[in-house]
């Protein structure tokens, strides 16, 4: 496979740090940079894939919101029932990483 040359510009201290890191792992600078870029691309692809469904839901919600009136409703909004208030608080807690008892699972006590 034919290789393509890509030229980059960076500060002298950055170049030296990259050279030192590449040397420590036994790679030349080109191989080191290709390896680093390939890892970054794989990580970005995995993140995009993991969040693709969420991104689709957000886009759909944004399109739906575009059709909503920009002015607030003139009618007074009914207060939440106690059950609705608890459900909202529980949902917000879950979104913030808390369980139903207000604890943060997975965090050290």
Is a pLDDT exceeding 90 seen at residue 20? Answer: yes
Is a pLDDT exceeding 60 seen at residue 16? Answer: yes
- How far is C-alpha 48 from the geometric centre of its chain's CA atoms? 8
Q: Convert the pLDDT of each residue in 26-41 to its tens digit.
A: 999 999 999 999 999 9
Chain mean pLDDT for the chain: 86
Q: Convert the pLDDT of each residue in 38-56 to its tens digit.
A: 999 999 999 999 989 988 9
The separation between the first and the last C-alpha atoms of the chain, rounded to the nearest angstrom, is 55
């Amino acid at each position: 496979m034919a290789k393509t040359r890509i030229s980059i510009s960076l500060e002298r201290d950055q170049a030296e740090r990259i050279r030192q890191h590449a040397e420590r792992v036994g790679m030349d600078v080109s191989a080191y940079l290709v390896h680093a870029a390939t890892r970054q691309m794989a990580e970005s692809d995995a993140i995009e894939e993991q969040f693709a469904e969420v991104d689709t839901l957000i886009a759909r919600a944004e399109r739906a919101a575009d059709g909503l009136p920009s002015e607030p409703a003139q009618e007074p909004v009914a207060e939440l029932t106690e059950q609705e208030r608890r459900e909202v608080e529980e949902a917000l807690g879950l979104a913030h990483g808390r369980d139903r008892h207000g604890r943060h699972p997975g965090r050290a006590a």
